[in-house]
Chains A and B, each alone.
Chain A
Amino acid sequence: MPNFVMSYLGSTVTPGEAGNQFWALIYVLIIFTGVSVAVIAMNWIERKALAHFQVRLGPMRVGPHGLLQPFADALKLMLKEDIIPAAADQFVFWVAPLIGLLAAFTVYTVIPFGPSQAVSDMNIGILFMLGVSSLGVLGIVVAGWASNSHYPLIGALRSSAQMVSYEVAMGLAVVSAVLMTSMNEKGTGTLSMIGIVQAQQQQGVWFIFKFFPLGFIAFVIFSIAMIAETNRAPFDMAEAESELTAGYHTEYSGLRWSLFMLAEYAAMIAVSSIAVTLWLGGWMRPFANLLHAPAWDFIFSLFPGLTFGSLAAIAFVGVTRMPAHSFFKIQRIGLAVFAALLGFIALLLLAIAIVGRSADASLAARFNEGIDYVYWFVLKVAVFMYLFIWYRATWPRYRFDQLMRIGWKVLLPISLGVLVVTAIVGVIVS
């Protein structure tokens, strides 16, 4: 058994490529857990960050600085009565959240957290991602219809129109990035997610900086379209609470409602991963081609440990700043334990970075590499997740006709133009 685990940790290919179903399953479970934890964390961060944007404190009561609030919320949602309206279409009402959830989580099979840190690498990776994430809208549409109520139906109609419109611009932006992968000697590009990152590695440039500003414009179009795709503010027409109560999930409650939320956040992470993979170099660390000496490798591999170290430090500062009243004693102990846990993780990561600094094929070195890949990928995705919150706090919601106008009359022509110009420049350069 240890041999088996070791052989996996030393592998250089994805479980899908190796045809190993057991490890693929382990991977799926790890990713599922990771994404669920990320969604919980995102829930807390969003509430806190939004509150601070609006000069409020946000959740403060459940746990220190409301750290346990998401767990309390989850518990509440699970215990809450699950109401199905009498006039609703029972089966479709029941199945709608599952469609969205399935679509959001299926996408994760091809997301490359590293050159071998993915469930599988498909030849059609990006196509698969776009296709499956576009299935998510079916869940929303069907939920709105099955509720048999006016607000959800309007929300669903808006959502479907919006998704169909923004998918076009999104696809064209993606194609222009895929076109850039073909700028090599052979002249053949790739649709595989891992292949796209490797193309950026070979060309020594993240596609956001390639043919500046062409890559950048395509990236901006994608990052606008992906907000519309995930129904987030300022494009959250499907659940515009000032107009439609709660849009497509007005009639949902309890666990079923929380499945919608889970699907929404999972889809947000998924589209952010597409953007990171296509334009921001995926798992590559910053300046991978400029500062490529082993010393730099070592310095950058310290980052995961240092990140957790600084989180631990923040938590410890929180411990010292807790009110001295005996009422806060338990919270204080809890936060101290949490900080100690973070510090332990930090020390572990630093130890791995130091032991695995030699670039040979030892297990520690491989492990160190893997941690680096996942760390940089997750960090880039985390930036996008923060941007989602920032957008929501900053911009007012668009009107529906404005939304359509932006989609069809602004984003679509620009993305078409970028595609054509990228192709021309590519032909001239190569």
Chain B
Amino acid sequence: MNPGMNSAFNSGMAPVATPFFFYMLSGLAIVGGLLVITRRNAVHSALALIVTLLAVAGLYLMLYAPFVAGVQIIVYAGGIMVLFLFVIMLVNIERSSKERRFNRMWPVGLAAACALMALFVSAFVKGRALFPDRMMSLPESSNTQQIATMLYGEAGRMGQYTFAFEIASLLLLVAILGAVIMTKKKI
């Protein structure tokens, strides 16, 4: 292919990862999160949660982490939320929507949320040196391969996170077995 022919086609516009999209996605995530806790109807809350999760997936994409974004969509939006909805549909919405939402536990919840936020802020302020001062940019074309190398290592060498990854998978396996044992009385 001669390069001259391609030039007009390739003269694309600015990349999509602009501040506009960042604020849009963050705003969507926050609005969705607020709707989750304020809607009386549990199904509406679940739908708002899906919006939040998809917005977060979009944020991952903006951080050049397409693999994490894809997994976020498959696992959370596609898998877990379907199960959520499945369970919520079996709940009697009529009755649950008449119950008082913010009962006397809400000051405790608020305090816990504030404490968590203080923790995050202090971790960010005190431990600033630990955070990279700019975004780590894995090339988009080999993002998945890089993650695989980190998790599983290269030929004959353990990856950076192989041990933690295997431990986590073991934990999940135990959780699955536990769920099966708890639901099935006779095995």
Contact = CB atoms under 8 A, between A and B. Distances in A.
Same complex: yes
Interface of A: 3-4, 6-8, 10-13, 18-21, 23, 89, 92, 95, 122-124, 127-128, 130-132, 134-135, 137-138, 141-142, 144-146, 153, 156-157, 160-161, 163-164, 167, 187-188, 190-191, 361
A361 B1 contact: yes
A7 B12 CA distance: 13
Contacts of B143: 123-124
Interface string B76-105: 011101110110011000000000000000
A153 B43 CA distance: 13
A322 to B, nearest CB: 48
Contacts of B145: 188
A379 to B, nearest CB: 27
Among B50, B70, B81, B145, residue most surrounded by chain A Cβ atoms (within 10 Å): B70
B5 A123 contact: no
Contacts of A153: 89
Given A7-B7, A124-B69, A124-B70, A160 B85 contact: yes
A131 B74 contact: yes
Contact of A18 (B12, B89, B90, B144): B12
Given A19-B15, A161-B86, A10 B5 contact: yes
A12 B79 contact: no
Contact of A167 (B9, B79, B89, B142): B79
B73 interface: yes
B47 A142 contact: yes
A124 B47 CA distance: 25
Binding site of B, secondary structure by majority: helix, strand, loop or mixed?
helix
Given A92-B43, A131-B73, A156 B13 contact: no
B144 A123 contact: yes
A34 B90 CA distance: 40
A138 B85 contact: yes
Contacts of A187: 155
B125 interface: no
Contact of B10 (A20, A122, A123, A361): A20
9 contacts: A8-B8, A10-B6, A11-B5, A12-B6, A134-B77, A134-B82, A138-B77, A141-B89, A361-B2
| Top 5 A-B residue pairs of the complex, sorted by shortest distance between their CB atoms | A19-B12, A134-B78, A131-B73, A127-B70, A7-B8
Contact of A122 (B1, B13, B66): B66
Contact of B82 (A6, A8, A10, A160): A160
A21 B5 contact: no
Given A141-B82, A141-B86, A361-B1, A8 B9 contact: yes
A127 B147 CA distance: 14
